[in-house]
Structure formats: structure tokens, C-alpha cells
């Protein structure tokens, strides 16, 4: 052995020459060993450095581990031995034209040509626009039929294509094919004027504006040796928790609507708006755009705003509790939730599910507790009990987290919050450096990686939205489930198309 | 049953009386910007330089609402001496060049196409197409169905099929991969039809301008009747636009 994976700290700059650079065979063996013995993949991606193509992996056990290697043109796939690498290898194949041989599910991810100008691994010609040209898994036999849905859906939602293989009403297999929202964000982050970075990062996924904003800011802060003050960390934490609340509450309403139980759907729809308006009160934008910048936050929470927020939450808290009870104690709703779309603990582990979807299947990981940044190290993030993996479990995890987030915000608002607002950030990045940030956004583990070159320019900006892990969880939940339960399962995951498509 | 009724009483009636009674937004909300014509050329240039969206023309003293994401950076660094954001959420226009403004917009109702009012004034069915954005605009369109805004009371609905629609509402910078589906949806809507561009992405490419994967302006693909700027537009901006333009 000529080296091994080493520990790195969340959001701490790392001098790139010190990154372990292993021979490919060692890199592969060690990565597989770590993940096979319970580790998970946080990031695994390709980049080009001084004309040489390289791979880099960030894995997590109870700590974060990193190592890299030179990228081979063709290599024996990791996925064939260890499932959590599945989508990461497909992404590398698409972005770099590197072939993971023996990959059991080697298909396009987002439909674009690779950055090296090599022949497309999937044989696509991107001179034409060809989304949807996809080798769907298909089931044959008498009475088998396929249902195709999307990319344009019936509601006001993002585009994606769903292909169901059914026997009667029962779904044998669902394949989800995305890429319609691909905007080329990673490339844009590398090429755009640095002053644009925060605005682009906040638009990776609008419902996770604060999550992506914070992840980007932490990376830039690490590379510029800037420390936001305690008040800024508290305000970011409040922003993250308000985002979690608005989305979880919206999801509870949507779940209710999908079992045709309309009172909670409407109440939660309205209450969700109340939380978006709290974010508006702090920063002037309902989604939190413009709140976070490298170096801190742009808006303070003065005593008047703090008082208003506290009062609003005090008024809402009993209402939320009552509506949650109304939904989760109504037999008609429970009959639809319980036992529907179960993802086993084992399957969730192999798919690498994160966030509420993972916790609903008994994967207790929460980045707020395991790799705390911002103000989370000072807070007590409870561990949700082991769960059943069905729609009910995904609803229950959200219901618990709603009440926990309310407590977190209340406790933060009871303390003095003082910060010096920032305007205009420093983008003079440390040269030859590397940083990975890990945060628990409302959908789960969100990670940004930034690599700089010898001149301090961004060499590679890699983004991983939690949905990257979780879409296959939704596909798995539909196995042997009635097709009419698809909307319910879909809402119970509520994944991001744009966060995945980048 | 008892719990259902108890919740019903606790919730009460939440629907806004808008447009009969005006709605006032929080003090930090950034709506229609106003440019101070007397500001120094140096200050104007500095604001234009720092604007992440390059939305400011410092010479003509105009701000492009189609590009602007209403972050308020210019207001902050000029301390309001060049740009200040008002709380006016009435931002929509019928012609793209009206978006280039020093702080006043033409009356939307006067620029509305009169035959649209006649055709759709009492009932307007819209099909939304999300084409490559961040889902932020969708979030604030979706809330129009919640009790506070209750869009349906005006006879306006979002429908499931383009075949049932009088027009399309497009969000996002029309990614390469979504272009064909968008054009097909437009084709599927029976004429006469309306096209509404919501958000800075749909109007100019927004934060993603410069990426080869997107289209910089929906109007380069389809004839746009109504432009609703913002990142995302506040639901009141959307509601105001729909009511003024069609009612």
C-alpha cells in the first residue's frame, strides 16, 4: 500500500498536495472496503487537473474520509460489488466519458456531452436535443403493460419522466428518468464571475435555497479563511430550520391531499405560507434568497423581528399540533399511509438513502448531529426512533422533525443574536486547495466540494443534492405497490428534480 | 368528526380581501426599485459593477427587471442613494422593453390585449410548464391555491392538461432538455392562447445566463403576452398580474 484514505473535517480547507493520491487498484479496494463495512459515499467525482483526469472520493463512516487517484479510461465498476456507488459512477461516465465496466445499470443521468470531448459512453450524439432517448427496463409477458408519465406533469411541479411496468394495478418496476432541468450549474460555477456564485448557488434548488446557500458559503469561507460570527451562525441555523418547517409542513399537507383528506391539506398549505413569510420577514424573500453570503448573513434578526417571530410561532405551534393529530389519528388517512410503499432498512442502506427518507427506514444519520456546523454543535438534535419504512414512517419522521425544528427556533430566538451583516464577499480563494461541506438540508445530506488550482481559481465545483441519493428509494417503494399509490409515495419522498439535474 | 370540526373553528377564515382591500408586505420585502436620477456617475457605475445579475445600465440609469433578482445589493452599497427598493409588488408588464425601468411601469391594465379580457375575463384555465428553473417560481405559483390567495375565487385555475387550457405559464430558463416538451405543450393548447413568462429565468435566463444549456428568454421561442419578474415573483405579484391583465 502506498497510502490510504485520510480523515478530513467538514468545511475545512485542505492543501491539495497533501490529499492521498493512490494507485487506482488501492483506491478502488479501500473505497470498496470502507463502504462494504457500512460506510457511505458523500462525493465521488472526476476532475481534470493540469491535463490529467482524476477521481476523488469523500466517504463517511463516523468521520469523513478522502482520497483520490488518476482516472482510468475503463475500469471495473465499483457498483457491481457495492451498490451505494451506483449513480456516482453513472455521473462520472456521463461527465467524463469514463467507462465503469460491468456496471449493472449504466444509463444516462442528465443528457449532456462529456467535458473531455470523448465519444459518449452511452452512444448519444448531443448535437441534437435528445432527452428521453433512454433504454428503459421492460417487463414482458401476458397482461404486462407500461404507463408513461411526464416530463410535463398534471400539477404545478417540475419535469421528469416516470415509466411504470405493471401487471394489472400492481407496479412491478418503476424507472425514473430525469435530466430535463439540467442547466449546467457545475460548469457555470467554475466559469462565472465570482460575484454571481451566491445567486447561482441559491438557485440550484429554490426550496433548498438556504441549504445550498449555506453549503456554498461554508466552502468559500474555508478557502478564504473567513469565520462568520456567532450571530450569523444562529441566523443561518434559523434559516435552515424555517426552510425545513415550511417544506415538511407543505409535504404533510400534500400527503393529506393525496388521500383526499382536504382539511389538513388546506390548513397546512396556509401554515406553510406562514413559515415562508417568516423567512420573508428576516430577509425580504420567502425562500431565503439573499440571506446567506460567504462571511455571514446579509440580514440581522433584531429584537423586534425576534419578538414577532416568537409570537407567530407561539400562535402556530398548537395549531400545527392539532392539525398533525387530525391527520395522523384519522383512521381513513392511516389506512392509506400504513404499509404503503415500504423500503426495507437493508434496501435503504444499499441505496444510500439520506434525510427523512433514510430515517424512516431506520438509518438514523443526521448531518446536524454527526457533522455539525453553524450553530448545531450547541443544539441537541434528537435521534428519531427506528421506523417502518412506509409512507406512514416518512410522514411520522416529518411530523417529529416539525416539532423539533419549532423547539430549535424558539430556543435560538430566546438568546441574543448579534451579527455584523456582510455585503460583498471575499473570493480570493486559497490556491491548490480542497474543501468539502456537509449539511443536513431538509431533504437530507447536502454536500458541496470545491477544488482550486495553483492560481486560486475554481478548478472543480461539485454539488450533491440529497435527492441524488433518494430518487431510487422512490422507485424501490413502488415495487409491488398499487399504481394509484404512486402520488402518495411520491409526496412522501418529495424529491428535487432540479437539485438532481443541476 | 369532533376533531375535524374543532380544527375547522380554530383555523377560521383566512382568505384575503384583495383586491378590494390592499395587502401590505413585510418591510424588508424588495419590490419595484426606484432609481435616483441625481446620483453621481461614479456611484451608478459602482452599483452596476457589483450587481450579480449585471442588470443595471449606469449611463441610461435604468434597471432591467427581467434580469434583476431583487437581492438588493445595489441598494445596500449605494445606501439608497442610487437604487432603493419599494414595497410595491406590482411589477408585471405586457412588453419586454417595459422591464427596463427607472422606477415607473406602465399601467398593465391599459396594455392588456382587450380580446383576452373579453375571452378569458370570467374564466381562465392555465397549464403550467416548469422548464429548467429552481422550482422557486413553482412554489409561489402553487400557493395561489392556498386559502389566503384562493385564486379559484377569480375563476382562474391551473389545469392538468394543455388541452383544457387557455394558455401556458412558463417558469425556468427553458433548458435544452425541456425545450421540445415545452413547444409540444404550447402546440397542444387550442388557439387563441396566452403565454405568460414567470420569473427572471423565463424572461432572461436569470441566474443561469451564459450557460449553453439554457435559453436566454422565453420570448425567443414563443410569443409572450405577459412578463412577471422576480426571483421568484411574490405570490401577490403573480396575483396582481393575472387580475390586472385578464379582469
Q: pLDDT tens for residues A429-470?
A: 999 999 999 999 999 999 999 999 999 999 999 999 999 999
Q: Rounded to an integer, what distance in angstroms lies between the CA atom of residue A27 and that of residue B181?
A: 42
β A74-76/B167-171 pair status: unpaired
Q: Rounded to an integer, what distance in angstroms lies between the CA atom of residue A317 and that of residue A329?
A: 18
Residues of B in contact with A290 (CB under 8 A): 69-72
Q: Residue A1's pLDDT is what?
A: 47
Burial of B188 (0-12, 13-18, 19+ CB in 10 A): middle
Q: Quick one: which of B124, B131, B82 has its CA closest to B246? A: B124
Give the least confident one: A122-136, A177-191, A240-254, B54-68: A122-136
User: Domains of chain B: which residue ranges?
Assistant: 33-89+96-105, 109-246
Q: Rounded to an integer, what distance in angstroms lies between the CA atom of residue A292 and that of residue A310?
A: 21
> DSSP string spanning A120-154?
PTT---TTS--TT--------STTEEEEEE-SS-S
Give Cα separations from B28 to A213, A303, B84 (angstroms): 19, 15, 12
B7 and A196 in contact by Cβ < 8 A? no
> Taking every pair of C-alpha atoms in chain B, what is the biggest distance, in angstroms?
67
Q: Which of residues 416-455 of A touch B (CB under 8 A)?
A: 423-424
Whether A486 and A165 have beta carbons less than 8 Å apart is answered as no
pLDDT higher than 50, residue A26: yes
Residues of B in contact with A424 (CB under 8 A): 50, 73, 77
As a whole number, mean pLDDT of residues A219-241 equals 95
Whether A487 has its CB under 8 Å from any CB of chain B: the answer is no
Please give the distance of CA B247 from its chain centroid, rounded to a whole number: 17
Give the least confident one: A124-138, A209-223, A261-275, B172-186: A124-138
Find the closest chain B residue to A186 by CA distance. B211
Residues of B in contact with A131 (CB under 8 A): 177-178, 180-181
B76 and A298 in contact by Cβ < 8 A? yes
Helix, strand, or coil here: A14? strand
Alpha carbons within 13 angstroms on the beta-carbon side of residue A430 total: 19
Phi-psi region of B199 (alpha: psi -120 to 50; beta: other; left: phi over 0): left
Residue A7, beta-bridge partner list: A65
pLDDT higher than 60, residue B62: yes
Domain spanning B109-246: CATH 3.30.70.580: no
Whether A154 and A109 have beta carbons less than 8 Å apart is answered as no
Q: Which of residues 259-318 of A touch B (CB under 8 A)?
A: 263-264, 266-267, 269-270, 272-273, 276-277, 280-287, 289-290, 298-299
Residues of B in contact with A157 (CB under 8 A): 130, 138
Non-local CB neighbours of B95 within 8 Å, separated by 6+ positions: B111, B227
Residues of A in contact with B71 (CB under 8 A): 199, 289-290
Q: Which domains does chain A have, with CATH numbers?
A: 6-101 (3.30.460.80), 144-177 (no CATH), 193-456 (1.10.645.10)
β A433-441/B33-35 pair status: unpaired
Torsion of CA A396, A402, A403, A405, to 10 degrees: 140
Q: Which of residues 155-184 of B touch A (CB under 8 A)?
A: 158, 160-162, 172-173, 175-181
As a whole number, mean pLDDT of residues A333-345 equals 94
Residue A125, beta-bridge partner list: none
**What integer best gives the mean pLDDT of chain B?**
92
Q: Rounded to an integer, what distance in angstroms lies between the CA atom of residue A481 and that of residue A466?
A: 24
Q: Residue A386's pLDDT is what?
A: 67
Non-local CB neighbours of A129 within 8 Å, separated by 6+ positions: B176, B177, B179, B180
Alpha carbons within 13 angstroms on the beta-carbon side of residue B192 total: 11
pLDDT higher than 70, residue B221: yes
pLDDT higher than 50, residue A92: yes
Whether A207 and A496 have beta carbons less than 8 Å apart is answered as yes
A273 and B172 in contact by Cβ < 8 A? no
Q: Rounded to an integer, what distance in angstroms lies between the CA atom of residue A262 and that of residue A254?
A: 9
Q: Rounded to an integer, what distance in angstroms lies between the CA atom of residue A97 and that of residue B86?
A: 50
Q: Residue A156's pLDDT is what?
A: 87
Q: Residue A226's pLDDT is what?
A: 93
Torsion of CA B4, B5, B10, B13, to 10 degrees: 100
Give the least confident one: A85-99, B102-116, B169-183: B102-116
Assembly ipTM: 0.94
pLDDT higher than 50, residue A394: yes
Interhelix angle B2-11/A303-328, nearest 10 degrees: 160
Q: Rounded to an integer, what distance in angstroms lies between the CA atom of residue B91 and that of residue B234?
A: 10
What is the b/e burial string over A367-376, where b = at least 16 CB atoms within 10 angstroms of the residue's CB? Answer: bbbbbbbbbb
Q: Quick one: which of A213, A445, A450, A448 has its CA closest to B207? A: A213
Q: How many residues belong to chain A?
A: 502
Interhelix angle A486-493/A391-413, nearest 10 degrees: 30
pLDDT higher than 60, residue A96: yes
Q: Which residue intervals of chain B are DSSP H helices? A: 2-11, 41-50, 73-77, 108-111, 114-120, 136-142, 179-188, 199-204, 235-246
**What integer best gives the mean pLDDT of chain A?**
93
B178 and A283 in contact by Cβ < 8 A? no
A199 and B172 in contact by Cβ < 8 A? no
Whether A209 has its CB under 8 Å from any CB of chain B: the answer is yes
A205 and B134 in contact by Cβ < 8 A? yes
Q: Which of residues 127-146 of A touch B (CB under 8 A)?
A: 129, 131
Q: Rounded to an integer, what distance in angstroms lies between the CA atom of residue A61 and that of residue A40?
A: 7
B177 and A111 in contact by Cβ < 8 A? yes
Sign, CA dihedral B183-B188-B192-B198, equals negative
- Give tens-digit pLDDT for B173-194: 999 999 999 999 999 999 899 9
Name the band, by pLDDT with cuts 50, 70 and 90, for residue A2.
low
Cis peptide before B19 (omega within 30 of 0): yes
Percent of chain A with pLDDT over 70: 99
> Taking every pair of C-alpha atoms in chain A, what is the biggest distance, in angstroms?
68
Q: Rounded to an integer, what distance in angstroms lies between the CA atom of residue B74 and that of residue A140?
A: 61
As a whole number, mean pLDDT of residues A357-373 equals 94
Min CA distance, B121 vs chain A (Å)? 22
Residues of B in contact with A276 (CB under 8 A): 139, 143
pLDDT higher than 60, residue B33: yes
Give the least confident one: A122-131, A464-473, B49-58, B201-210: A122-131
Give Cα separations from A198 to A79, A294, A295 (angstroms): 34, 8, 12
For the beta carbon of residue B100, count every other beta carbon within 10 angstroms: 16
A424 and B77 in contact by Cβ < 8 A? yes
Amino acid at each position: 500500500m502506498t497510502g490510504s484514505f485520510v480523515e478530513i473535517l467538514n468545511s475545512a480547507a485542505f492543501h491539495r498536495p497533501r490529499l492521498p493520491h493512490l494507485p487506482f487498484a488501492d483506491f478502488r479496494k479501500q473505497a470498496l472496503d470502507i463502504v462494504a463495512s457500512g460506510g457511505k459515499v458523500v462525493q465521488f467525482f472526476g476532475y481534470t487537473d493540469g491535463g490529467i483526469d482524476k477521481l476523488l472520493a469523500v466517504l463517511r463512516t463516523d468521520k469523513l474520509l478522502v482520497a483520490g487517484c488518476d482516472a482510468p479510461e475503463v475500469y471495473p465498476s465499483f457498483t457491481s460489488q457495492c451498490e451505494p456507488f451506483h449513480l456516482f459512477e453513472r455521473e462520472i461516465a456521463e461527465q467524463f466519458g469514463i467507462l465503469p465496466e460491468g456496471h449493472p445499470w449504466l444509463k444516462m443521468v442528465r443528457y449532456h456531452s462529456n467535458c473531455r470531448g470523448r465519444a459518449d459512453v452511452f452512444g448519444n450524439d448531443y448535437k441534437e436535443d435528445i432527452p428521453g432517448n433512454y433504454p428503459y427496463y421492460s417487463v414482458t409477458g401476458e397482461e404486462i403493460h407500461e404507463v408513461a408519465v411526464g416530463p410535463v406533469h398534471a400539477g404545478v411541479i417540475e419535469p421528469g419522466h416516470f415509466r411504470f411496468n405493471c401487471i394489472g394495478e400492481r407496479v412491478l418496476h418503476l424507472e425514473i428518468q430525469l435530466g430535463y432541468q439540467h442547466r449546467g450549474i457545475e460548469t457555470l460555477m467554475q466559469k462565472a464571475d465570482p460575484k454571481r456564485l451566491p445567486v447561482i448557488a441559491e438557485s440550484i434548488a429554490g426550496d433548498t435555497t438556504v441549504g445550498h446557500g449555506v453549503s456554498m458559503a461554508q466552502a468559500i469561507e474555508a478557502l478564504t479563511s473567513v469565520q462568520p460570527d456567532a450571530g450569523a451562525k444562529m441566523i443561518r441555523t434559523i434559516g435552515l430550520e424555517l426552510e425545513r418547517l415550511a417544506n415538511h409542513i407543505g409535504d404533510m399537507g400534500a400527503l393529506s391531499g393525496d388521500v383526499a383528506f382536504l382539511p389538513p391539506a388546506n390548513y397546512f398549505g396556509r401554515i406553510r405560507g406562514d413559515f415562508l413569510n417568516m423567512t420573508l420577514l428576516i430577509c425580504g424573500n420567502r425562500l431565503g434568497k439573499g440571506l446567506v453570503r460567504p462571511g455571514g448573513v446579509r440580514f440581522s434578526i433584531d429584537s423586534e423581528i425576534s419578538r414577532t417571530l416568537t409570537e407567530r410561532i407561539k400562535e402556530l405551534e398548537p395549531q400545527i399540533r392539532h392539525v398533525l393529530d387530525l391527520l395522523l389519528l384519522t383512521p381513513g388517512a392511516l389506512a392509506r399511509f400504513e404499509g404503503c410503499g415500504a423500503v426495507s432498512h437493508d434496501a435503504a442502506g444499499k441505496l444510500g438513502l439520506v434525510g427523512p427518507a433514510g430515517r424512516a427506514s431506520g438509518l438514523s444519520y443526521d448531518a446536524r448531529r454527526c457533522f455539525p456546523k453553524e450553530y448545531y454543535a450547541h443544539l441537541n438534535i434528537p435521534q428519531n426512533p427506528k421506523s417502518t419504512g412506509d409512507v406512514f414512517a416518512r410522514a411520522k419522521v416529518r411530523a417529529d422533525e416539525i416539532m423539533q425544528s419549532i423547539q430549535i427556533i424558539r430556543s435560538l430566538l430566546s438568546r441574543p443574536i448579534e451579527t455584523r451583516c456582510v455585503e460583498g464577499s471575499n473570493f480570493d480563494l486559497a490556491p491548490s486547495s480542497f474543501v468539502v461541506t456537509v449539511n443536513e438540508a431538509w431533504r437530507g445530506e447536502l454536500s458541496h466540494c470545491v477544488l482550486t488550482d495553483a492560481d486560486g481559481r475554481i478548478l472543480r465545483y461539485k454539488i450533491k443534492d440529497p435527492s441524488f441519493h433518494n430518487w431510487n428509494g422512490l422507485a424501490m417503494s413502488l415495487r409491488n405497490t398499487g399504481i394509484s399509490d404512486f402520488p402518495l409515495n411520491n409526496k412522501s419522498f418529495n424529491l428535487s428534480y432540479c437539485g438532481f439535474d443541476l | 368528526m369532533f376533531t375535524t370540526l374543532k380544527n375547522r373553528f380554530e383555523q377560521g377564515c383566512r382568505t384575503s380581501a384583495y383586491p378590494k382591500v390592499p395587502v401590505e408586505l413585510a418591510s424588508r420585502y424588495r419590490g419595484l426599485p426606484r432609481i435616483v436620477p441625481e446620483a453621481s456617475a461614479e456611484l451608478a457605475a459602482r452599483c452596476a459593477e457589483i450587481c450579480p445579475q449585471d442588470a443595471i445600465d449606469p449611463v441610461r440609469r435604468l434597471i432591467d427587471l427581467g434580469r434583476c433578482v431583487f437581492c438588493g445589493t445595489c441598494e445596500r452599497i449605494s445606501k439608497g442613494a442610487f437604487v432603493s427598493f419599494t414595497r410595491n409588488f406590482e411589477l408585471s408588464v405586457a412588453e419586454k422593453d417595459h422591464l427596463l425601468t427607472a422606477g415607473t411601469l406602465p399601467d398593465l391594465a391599459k396594455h392588456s390585449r382587450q380580446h383576452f379580457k373579453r375571452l378569458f375575463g370570467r374564466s381562465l384555465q392555465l397549464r403550467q410548464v416548469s422548464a429548467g428553473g429552481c422550482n422557486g417560481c413553482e412554489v409561489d405559483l402553487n400557493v395561489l391555491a392556498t386559502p389566503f390567495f384562493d385564486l379559484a375565487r377569480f375563476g382562474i385555475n391551473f389545469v392538468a392538461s394543455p388541452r383544457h387550457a387557455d394558455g401556458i405559464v412558463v417558469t425556468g430558463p427553458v433548458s435544452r432538455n425541456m425545450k421540445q416538451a415545452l413547444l409540444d405543450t404550447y402546440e397542444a393548447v387550442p388557439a387563441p392562447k396566452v403565454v405568460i413568462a414567470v420569473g427572471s429565468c423565463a424572461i432572461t435566463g436569470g441566474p443561469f445566463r451564459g450557460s449553453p444549456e439554457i435559453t436566454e428568454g422565453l420570448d425567443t421561442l414563443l410569443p409572450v403576452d405577459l412578463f412577471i419578474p422576480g426571483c421568484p415573483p411574490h405570490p401577490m405579484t403573480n396575483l396582481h398580474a393575472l387580475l390586472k391583465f385578464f379582469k
